Amino acid sequence: MIQLSKLNGEVFWINPHLIEFIEATPDTVLIMVSGKHVLVKEPVQEVIDRIIAYRKKLGVNGQEE
């Protein structure tokens, strides 16, 4: 799970494996595989960086060994 913030500053955790895609509208919108839209305070690149850090922590960095 990664920590993000709603536009009102409320902190929440979300499973990044359930994010289908991300839009900048200019707010950052996460579109989940369920179809739900989640607006977050963090810019797109920060969300991507947190997803990458999370996946590295799990040992899932996309590189073949």
Please, which residues have CB within 8 angstroms of residue 39's CB and are 6 or more apart in sequence? 6, 7, 27, 28, 29, 30
What is the predicted pLDDT for the residue at 63? 54
Q: Domain for residue 7, yes or no?
A: yes
pLDDT the model gives residue 65? 43
Is 63 inside any structural domain?
no
pLDDT one-digit tens code per residue, 13-23: 999 999 999 99
Q: What pTM value is reported for the model?
A: 0.86
* Cα–Cα dist 43/60, whole Å: 23
Are 40 and 28 a contacting pair, CB within 8 Å?
Answer: yes
Where in the sequence is the domain holding 44, given as residue range(s)? 2-58
In a domain, 23, yes or no: yes
Determine, yes or no, domain membership for 40: yes
Asked if the structure places residue 65 within a domain, the reply is: no
